[in-house]
Amino acid sequence: MKQIAKALIESQKEMGDAIKDSTNPFFKSSYADLNSIREACIPILNAHGIAVLQPMTVNDGVNYINTVLLHESGESIESKTEIICSKKNDAQSQGSGITYARRYGLQSLVNIGAADDDGNAASNPSAENQIKECKTLDELKSVYSALSAKDKVTYKAIKDKRKGVLS
C-alpha cells in the first residue's frame, strides 16, 4: 500500500471540489453530477498513475458498485456502495441507482467535496476573462496551464467552449 498511498496523497493535494452543475427540481437544490465528480478527480489520479474502475458486483443477492483505485504498481484501494433502486425490474430506476452509487462511491473514496459554481467563479474572476479573451489556441493553452488544479476544474467548460471557437 506504500505506492498507492503516496500517489493518492499527491493527487489529493491537487484536487479541488467538484462543481455543483446539476439541479434537482424536486428538492430545489444543486449537486455535482457524476461527470463533475469524474472531471474533478480522474485526470489528476491518472497523472499520478491511478486508474478508476467501477464494476457492478453482487454480494449475498445485493447489488453494489465497487469503486477501485488501481495504481500502476498493482496496489489498489476499493470501496463498495450499495445500488438502491426505487422500483425493482425498472431500467430507469436501475440506471439512476447505478449512477448515484458511482457518484457517491467515487466522491467518498477520493474525499472530494462539491462547491457551488458561483462561489468558485468568484474566487478567481480574472481567469474566466483571460480564457474568454484568448486570441489563439496557443494563448489559450498557456493561460489554462497556468491555472491551479482547482481552477482548471472550475473553468474547464469555459476553456473547452473557447477552444471550439478558436479551432
Rg (CA), the chain: 18
Contact 22, 33 (CB under 8 A): yes
Q: What's the CA gap between 44 and 53, in Å, rounded?
A: 15
pLDDT band at 130 (very low <50, low <70, confident <90, very high): confident
Say if CB 110 and CB 41 are below 8 A apart: yes
Domain ranges of the chain: 2-115, 124-166
Q: How far apart are CA 46 and CA 50, in angstroms?
A: 5
Q: What is the pLDDT of residues 59-84, one digit of tens each?
A: 999 999 999 999 999 999 999 999 99
Distance in angstroms (rounded) separating the CA atoms of residues 104 and 36: 12
Beta bridge pairs of residue 63: 58
Provide the pLDDT confidence category of residue 123 given band limits of 50, 70 and 90: very low
Of 159, 151, 161, 162, which Cα lies nearest the Cα of 120?
151
- pTM reported for the whole predicted model: 0.66
* pLDDT of 9 over the 90 cut: yes
Q: Measuring CA to CA, which residue among 71, 99, 72 is closest to residue 83?
A: 99
| pLDDT surpassing 50 at residue 21 | yes
| pLDDT band, very low/low/confident/very high, at 118 (cuts 50, 70, 90) | very low
Give the CATH fold of the 2-115 domain.
Double Stranded RNA Binding Domain (3.30.160)
Alpha-helix runs per DSSP H in 48-136 = 91-110, 117-123, 125-132
Query: Given pLDDT bands bounded at 50, 70 and 90, which one contains residue 88?
Result: confident
Please provide the size of the chain in residues: 167
Q: What is the pLDDT of residue 43?
A: 95
